[in-house]
Structure 1
Amino acid sequence: MSLIKLSLPQTGVHLYESKHNKGAKVSNHYHDIYQILYALDGDGTLKIEETEYEFTRDGMVLLLPNSSHSIQTKNKLTVLVLAFSNQISTSTEIEGILQFFENRSHHFVLDQFTAGSIRHLLRKMLFEQTEYDVLFKYAIPTYLTDILITLARLKMTSNYRDANEMRSDQIRDYITRHYFENISAEELATQFGISTRYMNGLFKAKYNMTPLQYLQQIRIDRAKQLLLETDKEIVSICFEIGYETISTFYRTFNNLVGLSPHKFRVNYYSHTLEETELT
């Protein structure tokens, strides 16, 4: 593992582009300054110390000084690198913010809103680096502070989880909102910028089932509700919950429930009728 020295301008902060071709590998190395990496486009695998993360669009990393890391690209990967000196980090504001990261590097997967805020701040920094006027040297550290505050708030938020857990929850939430659509494993993985194999492993590690198994469970739970609470035809329920053929619906329902949809509905109403007669 090698130390790679980076030179910084007088401001102690530098934002620049780092391009990596498809299949490229950046071997394990470290820096003696801070870095924030933002994946602008593409995808790859980022290893920090001994932990690997999928690094795709809107992924972000805070690397502490002397933190070893490497990158293996899958497709062409474009990264914005925000490097800042240890001297900048000891300023009262930034030093206080960095304490929230508990003296370790972090990987973040940004939601759409947060990603928009970060991109806006990065654009401002790129503009200030053109040295538009004499105030640029004050503006750049200010935007760095704003970016660190944004990441620190992600770290602090009670519902913030590590990147892998957050991605699992995002997949689950997507399925819950779109279960009635024609969803395949490949399309779902593409939606989140990861491979099908990686997605299945990630999801199964938390929920003990694959995303498609979860999709079937959501659909059948909804079907059971409609069978018991409405008088809709079974073919209509099949259509509503996202199945293209009645045979697939029947087969899946029977596998998960142990009864056909018709038998499930009849048994419920027979049981309800018996209870009514007894009372």
Structure 2
Amino acid sequence: MIRLYENKHQEKNEVARHQHDTHQLLYVLDGEGECELDIRSQNLLPDSIMLISPHTDHGIQAHSKMTVLVLEFDIRHLAEDVVSYLVEPVFAVSRVLNLSLFESSELRQLLRKMLFEQSQNHPIHTMGLKLLLAQVLYQLAIMQQEDTTQDTNTRRAKWLKHHLETRYFEIASMEEVAAKAGVSSRYMNQIFKEMYDTTPYQFLTEVRLLKVKKMLRESDREIVSICFEVGFEAVSTFYRVFKKYVGVTPNVYRRTTDDFRN
């Protein structure tokens, strides 16, 4: 059983202390409040996450109108490796996590996808729901492994690198990426270059060109199709960038690699 639902709390609304047999993740979409986990009291803000292990006493008090997305699941419906490597470490201690903008963007996107899968009445969407839950848990597990001594800029740069490596095909502008990270594009360039000795745009270009070269070597697909698939919006720009970084045009590169194979 995996279930997502929304709870809306009015100002000063209080949920009395109680327990569940299931695991719960409560994501604060907006508003502020306070929660009690066992004997601890912690503040809740937008993009706060409550991780609640089974049989944990917990309660909530809203200080303002507050919307909370509840993700509830029973581990009996999950694969053993998901439980061992993801659920158990993430929920080892019931606690509240306060996410930054760049940390929350990935989780919000995954939760939106889960809401869609839940709305579809077909076994394949049930499988999709389980896969997305594993991705949510994976993101939380990675965050948990982060060195707590790392400063915010280091975590921003690492998030940005991962984002560029995995979402290269849909990035339209660096300004859009900077907005997701919660910083200006100028500041984003600065912290990324300090850590990786290159700019985000140069790194993105290199990631895209690596994908392009692989497809040119290993497939007969049209060059124009490859260009758009990896995220270039104009063919002329793609040809110019490829020639600048690789030294030859895509057509010549493909012929050269074909000749080498033959």
- Name the TM-score class by shorter chain: 0.5 to 0.7
Q: What does residue 27 of structure 2 align with?
A: 38
Measure the CA separation in 1 of the matches of 2:83 and 2:6: 23
User: Offset at 1:123?
Assistant: 0.5
Q: What does residue 49 of structure 1 align with?
A: 38
* Runs of at least 4 residues off by over 4 Å: none
Measure the CA separation in 2 of the matches of 1:134 and 1:91: 20
Q: What does residue 142 of structure 1 align with?
A: 131
Residue 70, structure 1, aligned to residue 59, structure 2: yes
Q: Secondary structure at the match of 1:144?
A: helix
Q: Would the aligned equivalents of 2:34 and 2:43 in 1 still touch at CA under 8 Å? A: yes
Q: Would the aligned equivalents of 1:100 and 1:156 in 2 still touch at CA under 8 Å? A: no
Q: Would the aligned equivalents of 1:88 and 1:94 in 2 still touch at CA under 8 Å? A: no
Q: Would the aligned equivalents of 1:89 and 1:95 in 2 still touch at CA under 8 Å? A: no
1:92/1:149 CA distance change after superposition, 3 Å: same
Write the mapping of 1:215-230 to structure 2, written as runs, cut at 5 A.
none
Measure the CA separation in 1 of the matches of 2:90 and 2:6: 25
Residue 118, structure 1, aligned to residue 110, structure 2: no
Residue 24, structure 1, aligned to residue 13, structure 2: yes
The amino acid of 1:79's aligned partner reads V
Q: Would the aligned equivalents of 2:37 and 2:57 in 1 still touch at CA under 8 Å? A: yes
Measure the CA separation in 2 of the matches of 1:102 and 1:71: 19
Measure the CA separation in 2 of the matches of 1:27 and 1:95: 31
Residue range with higher mean Cα deviation, 145-154 or 76-85: 145-154
Number of residue pairs aligned between Structure 1 and Structure 2: 152
User: Offset at 1:19?
Assistant: 1.1
Measure the CA separation in 1 of the matches of 2:146 and 2:65: 32
User: Offset at 1:88?
Assistant: 2.8
1:121/1:101 CA distance change after superposition, 3 Å: closer
Q: Deviations over 1:199-226 (max 9, x none)?
A: xxxxxxxxxxxxxxxxxxxxxxxxxxxx
- Percent of aligned pairs sharing the same letter: 30
Measure the CA separation in 2 of the matches of 1:102 and 1:77: 24
Q: Secondary structure at the match of 2:119?
A: coil
Write the mapping of 1:192-207 to structure 2, written as runs, cut at 5 A.
none
Q: TM-score, normalised by structure 1?
A: 0.51
Q: Deviations over 1:193-249 (max 9, x none)?
A: xxxxxxxxxxxxxxxxxxxxxxxxxxxxxxxxxxxxxxxxxxxxxxxxxxxxxxxxx
Measure the CA separation in 2 of the matches of 1:99 and 1:27: 26
Larger gyration radius, structure 1 or structure 2:
1
Q: Deviations over 1:16-46 (max 9, x none)?
A: 0011110011111110110000001101001
> Which blocks of at least 5 consecutive residues in structure 1 are unaligned?
1-11, 162-168, 171-279
User: Offset at 1:56?
Assistant: 1.1
Q: Would the aligned equivalents of 1:94 and 1:145 in 2 still touch at CA under 8 Å? A: no
User: Offset at 1:127?
Assistant: 0.4
